[in-house]
Every structure is written in structure tokens, then in C-alpha cells.
Structure 1
């Protein structure tokens, strides 16, 4: 089975909503057939409940029947050299078939462009990891390379839900050896990403007073109050863009974006809306903590409440929900970054400088465990989570070459 066929088959698995098991079992079988020594682990919800990324209640963390898998190849004297992990996640976000031109889980080709849910985020990137590792083995077996060490290829569960499989692997290693560095093959557009942004997820609830639409002046609509709060939060976003600086984020028009992604208000078209729930994603810069940024927005909300008699008498709630992402960053001087940049140059990529990303990734779990981790992979984040998600196959081939070169350079150092 070649890389293209492997990717197509993996894309046919619907791995949304905790359904990674069939894909993980298939991947484990393929890795074994390719000659990898395989490992499997399942996260412990109680263990993750103590982790800052996850809810405090284990019942809110779906880990059951969601294995992560890995394959290991050893070269020369594996104890004499380093271990490099190539990581990808097997889960994908849901796909609304009505918004797609094709079946999201039936890969389709248009020339060199491959369309399916997960094509960019990130099953093609994971496939590039698998076949890059095999390319290194072929080079060693042919005598073209002499290496000591190991390469691990991980396919983890639940990245879109906070990094369930990666967090478990970072907290309690599933391997009988140490890991020295990780490359996560997220869709970085073939760029070297050493810093990822954090996020805090918050739910706002407002209370007004209902009234018949014919006499709406006797009610208290929550909508103007929500608009005032939204304006205040967007102003804080603009202030943070000026006051919180980072050299890897100067290219972004909004480096620490906030997004109100969901709003639900009212109960009936002919009734003044008396309740509102809004869910926010708030960006956290590398060097900040989730708690620090959370406190800034809570303070700004308190200022709005203090200036409004209704809100003072009926204070809103503003609480965390779901998962949180701490930011992560490593030094561009880390050996794994140098190995990656050397391989990028060898592959003809002109832009090799370290970059920052405004999204979070599983890299943060490994960085928190003291394992230097860099992001590099095919595809672009603009395609991730989108209808008709597409990746340009030549970029997958380039990523495969770069990842193989990274392994060879890192293990040879």
C-alpha cells in the first residue's frame, strides 16, 4: 500500500464524535504490516480531569473506547541515539454533508487536489509521517544512512477535544523509552511553527425581563446588553493587540483574536428576549496564561456591569466550559527545529524561519512535559474545518520528504 492509498482509506473512516476506534485499529494493523512495533493506549478520564486543559468532572471527558496508536522503528543502537516522535491526530471535526459538493467521507480527486473531511486536518499529514518513517528505514537498510535511535509515529485520539490521546501520552508515556523531541504534522502550509496560541472558552449568560411584543417597552431585552458587552470585548481585543506583542505574531492583523461563535437568545418571536447565552473563544498569547487572560475579560465585563443599572441588579454569569488550550512555545534554537529547517532547505522550501500560529495544537502537551515540539505539515489551516476540505497532494509529498530528512538529520546529530 502506497501513501496515496493509505490516505484515501484513512479518510473513509468517519472519526467524528469519538469514533476513532475502527480507524485506530486499522492503522495499528497497517503499522504492524509495515514492520513497526506497535503500541496502544487509552486515556484515563480521572487523570485528565486534573489537567488544566480539561473539565474538572471526569464524566465530561469522553475517553471510553477511544484508543491512540503508535508504531516504532529502531535503527542501529537505539539506546545510543535520540528518539523523535512524528505525531498526527486521527479524529476530525463533523462535516455537514449539505454544505459539501461531495461526500465528506469519500475521497475525491481533482487533478492533484484531494477533497475529504480530514484531508488537511490532518490525515494526509499523518500519512506523510508514516511513509517518512518508512523512507528513513529504507535509506538505512540500503546503506545510504547510518543512524542510531528511534522514530515513533503516533496517531492520537481526541485532538479536537483538547488532545485526549496526546495529553495521556505526555502525562504517562506509553513507551519503555524516553522521547527527545516531537514533530506534529498539523497543516502549517509547509512552515516551521514553534509557537502556538492558547484559548479560553467562556459561556456568558444574561437575564432580562420578558414582555409581549406589543408592549415591549415594559420588558428588558437582553440584546442591547449583549451588544454593549460584545463591543467592550472587541475593544479589549484591540487593546491587547497593541499591548501584548510577540515577534512571531507581527504578521497577523489580529494576533490574539476573540470570537463569539454561538449566541442563543429569546424564546418566541412575539416576546421580548429575556435570556441570552453566548459562547466565546478568547486567544491567549505565548507567555501568558489562560487564567491571566480570563481575568482581563472578567474585569472588563465587571466594568460594563458597573455602568448599567439593570446588569448591576441582574449580574451576568461568565464561566468556563469545555476545553482550554494553554499556549506553547519552544526556542528556535532547539535541535529538532534546526533539523527540520535543514530538511526544509534541502527540499527547496524558501521560508524556513520559525513562525507562530493563532491556533492551538497537541504540541502544548509535549512542551509542558519538557519535550521540545515543533509543528510542520502539508495543507493550510484555512482548509481545516471547512466544507470541501482540500489538500494539494504535491504538498503531502514534500512534507513526507521533509519529515524523513528531519528524522535523518536529528538522529545523525
Structure 2
């Protein structure tokens, strides 16, 4: 029997009187009351991005002091890696059946959002919703997953390896945290689900990204006698003109269209008044289409951008995230279809998303991966984040059914 929740949070079919104790507990973990409680608990525990990134004490405290005790209540066993990521590993190994779920602790800063860490259950034209920082992006997906994990562990019927990683990432734009997690696993999981807001649609593809800096070097002088210097800003103008006219020589993707190259920051030095700057640093964002290599994309640009004397250039490659695209005839997509159906939805909706996250890391390593969770992408980092309670409840059931399809009873 597969428990299914309706939009109201009530079970479409209640557990029978003679149901096993584990099955009754599974229903409890998937109840609307339990899921909303989890979400409000997560929102009320700030874990904002800071300059410290993954090593920020608040982010690590969210994992150890907020999330971990909830897992302990479920009877889950877990450990921590060197970056502070939590890794839960349950069920028998070596069966050929495994799945990894990835959640994120870090959220966008509260910024201009009013009362970002005071969760509120509100009424909207579309139904009841929860408001707070991170509900559209990371924390609702995390709450849904905790419900699903609790249900699966309460049933105690795992026939394969169920892995969950709660990472210190979420806003960093790099794969460092998930790469650290993978070093702890003896065997690669068969598939991975990145739990992030996708409006309950399956993100079957996403762009990758390689960041890089171009430094224009000149010669400093007092600005009263600019002829004694070589103004790096003038050299930067030449570089920007080349970048704007550059043909990336990449075929358009059917869903994403063309590859893009975008300047995202510019800075000059020294930081002094009345001084001709001797250095300009420009940061660029090269979005990668599925099938592209970040190394090749970066080297292609580096080999085609230059300046004449008296300026000179240097380059520095920054963080990388890999692109991803799931095969629709592969085993993971078939499991997702089954999970959505068992959760009460006949058809799943899929799409390609522009932002980059860890799904690309897994596909780069031969692991099928998608991004999937409640929360609307258009609300990421906005001053007003809210998520429908019905979406939270539905996705908790989808995650639970996906666990059953992947590592539960055949």
C-alpha cells in the first residue's frame, strides 16, 4: 500500500486498523502538520550566506543543531565530513540499488525582505502558504525530504542504499561541498536528486558555468600627469570590445538557445585618489550548454583575447559548475514517472533551467541526476518568498515514492 496525501494534507486513504506500526509512523511523517512544522523550524533558524561561505558558523550550526536532532529523532545514523556536511547512509549496500538526495543548509541573506526568519503561515489566492527566507529555494525541499526520509526509515523496509547529504553549500556556485561528500562514499550512487525549488517540476537539464577573471595591467602615475602612466581602464575598454564581438562558436541548444558570456564585475586598483590605475580586474560568467567542457570553453576565450603594448593581460579561472541533461529513456526518469503517479499525479512536468547547481557534478561522474522540489524559481533571492503548503505536501509524497521505487520493496 502506498500512502497518498491530498492537497488538503489529509490522506487519500487512511492506514488500515491492522497496519504495521512502521506504516502508521510513515503516515505521521508525511502529514501536513508535521511537514509545516519542519519547514517553519528550518526558516526560523537563520543560515545566511556570508563571506565565510561553507565555513560560516551559522550554516554549520543549522546542520548540527537544527537538522541533525530531527534526524536523530527518526533513529537515523549519520556522520560529518571535513567540510561539516552531514551524510546519512541507510539500508544494505552492494545490492545494485541506491539513490542519493542532496539538500542545502545555506540560504540567500535576509537582505531587504521583512521578517525573513519569522516563518508565517498565510492565506493566498491559491491556498495556504508559508512565508520566509529560503522557502522558495532550499528549505521547503529540505522539509519535504525530511518527511520522506522519516517515512521510509519508519517503515524499515529498505532493500537498497538510501543516502542523504545535507551540505554547507546552497549559494556558493561551486561543487566543493558535494565533491567532499562523494569522497565519503565507497560506491557511486545509481542516481541523485538535488532538492531545490523547481515548482514541483523535474529539472531534466541545466546550464553549467565557468567564472574567470581577466586582469589588464598598465602603469600607475599621478592623474595630473597621465602621460607618465599607462591607464589600465583604457586597456580594459579594448578587452570589453573584443568580448562583445566574440563568436563563441557553439551550436545553439534546442532548449537553452545560445551559449552566453557575460561580464559581471569590474574593479580597478590601486584604491587611491588622483591616480592612474595600473590594474583592472574584470570578472566574466561563461554559461555552458550540455556537452560543453568548462576547460575547453575557458581556454578558447583565453586564446582569442589580447591587447597590444603598452598593456598586458593575465587570466585566472574561477569556480566551475558542470552542465547536465537527463536521458528521458533512462532508469531515473522512469522511476520519477512512477513516483509521481503513486503520489497521485498522473503526469510529471519537466523543464530545462538556466541556473547551475550540483546535478551537473553527478552527470560529469556518470550518475543520473535531476533537480526537483517545491518552490518557485522566480522567487529566489526576492524580497517576498512564499510556498504553497499543498506543494510541500505533494513533494514529500513524491520523494517518499521515489525512495520506494529506488530502494524500497520491489
Q: TM-score, normalised by structure 2?
A: 0.76
CA distance in 2, matches of 1:202, 1:337: 34
Aligned to 1:319: 316
Question: CA distance change for structure 1 residues 264 and 389 in 2, over 3 Å: closer, same or farther?
Answer: farther
Q: Deviations over 1:256-278 (max 9, x none)?
A: 33332222225456444443222
1:407 is paired with a residue whose SS is: helix
Work out whether residues 202 and 370 of structure 2, in 8 Å CA contact, stay in contact via their aligned partners in 1: yes
Residue 3 of structure 2: aligned partner: none
SS across alignment from 1:179: coil
Please list the CA deviations of residues 363-383 of structure 1 after superposition, one character each: whole Å capped at 9, or x if unmatched.
233334433222111123333
8 Å Cα contact 1:181/1:373 also seen in 2: yes
Give how far 1:349 is off: 7.2
Instruction: State yes or no: 1:32 paired with 2:72.
Output: yes
Q: 2:100 aligns with which of 74, 77, 85?
A: 85
Of 34, 44, 50, the residue aligned with 1:2 is 34
Offset at residue 110 of structure 1 (A)? 3.8
Q: Which residue of 1 aligns with 2:195?
A: 185
1:101 aligned onto 2:120: no
- State the Cα distance separating 1:171 from its structure 2 match: 2.9
Does the 8 Å contact 1:170/1:369 carry over to 2? Answer: no
1:91–1:160 contact (8 Å) kept in structure 2: yes
For residues 128-167 of structure 1, the aligned pairs below 5 Å read 128-136=144-152, 140=155, 148-161=159-172, 162-167=174-179
Structure showing the higher helix proportion among its residues? 1
Sort the Cα spacing of 1:243 and 1:279 in 2 relative to 1 into closer, same or farther, 3 A: closer
Quote the residue 2:29 is aligned against: none
Cα distance in structure 2, aligned partners of 1:10 and 1:398: 19
Q: Is the 8 A contact 1:87 1:129 kept in 2?
A: no
Calculate the aligned-residue CA RMSD, in Å: 3.2
Aligned with 1:291 (options 286, 295, 313): 295
Residue 304 of structure 2 aligns to a residue whose secondary structure is helix
Check whether the contact 2:252–2:259 (CA below 8 A) recurs between aligned residues: no
How far apart are the structure 2 equivalents of 1:213 and 1:313?
18
1:172 matched to 2:175? The reply is no
Q: How far apart are the structure 1 equivalents of 2:122 and 2:384?
A: 12
Structure 2 unaligned spans of 5+: 1-32
| Alignment partner of 1:194 is 2:204 | yes
Residue aligned with 1:249, SS? coil
Q: Deviation per CA, 1:320-352, whole angstroms, max 9, x where unpaired?
A: 13x222323342222122111333355437553
Deviations 1:301-324 (A, max 9, x none): 13xx2xxxxx43321212113x22
Indicate how the Cα distance of structure 1 residues 224 and 191 shifts in structure 2: closer, same or farther if over 3 A, else same.
farther
Question: In the alignment, what sits opposite 1:259?
Answer: 262
CA contact (8 A) 2:149 2:400 kept: yes
Aligned pair in 2 of structure 1 residues 179, 164: CA closer, same or farther (>3 Å)? same
Query: 1:192 Cα deviation (Å)?
Result: 1.6
Question: Is 2:287 aligned against 1:276?
Answer: no
| 2:363 counterpart of 1:363 | no
Which residue matches 1:46?
A: none
* Structure 1 position 81, deviation (Å): 7.0
Unaligned residue ranges in structure 1 (runs of 5+): 44-62, 306-310
Task: Please state if 1:245 is matched with 2:252.
Answer: yes
Residue 70 of structure 1 corresponds to 87
Paired with 1:336 and 1:385, the residues of 2 have a C-alpha distance of 30
Pairing 1:408–2:404 present: yes
In 1, Cα distance between the equivalents of 2:302 and 2:121? 48
Relative distance call for 1:212 and 1:294 in structure 2 (3 A) is same
Instruction: Give TM-score scaled by structure 1 length.
Output: 0.76
Name the count of aligned residue pairs: 362
Give the conservation status (yes or no) of the 8 Å contact 2:152–2:158.
Answer: no
SS of the equivalent of 1:402 reads helix
Secondary structure of the equivalent of 2:162?
strand
Whole-Å separation in 2 of the counterparts to 1:349 and 1:221: 63
Q: Which residue does the alignment assign to 2:23?
A: none
Distance in 2 of aligned mates of 1:135 and 1:172: 25
Q: How does 1:293-312 map to 2 (within 5 A)?
A: 293-302=297-306, 305=307, 311-312=308-309
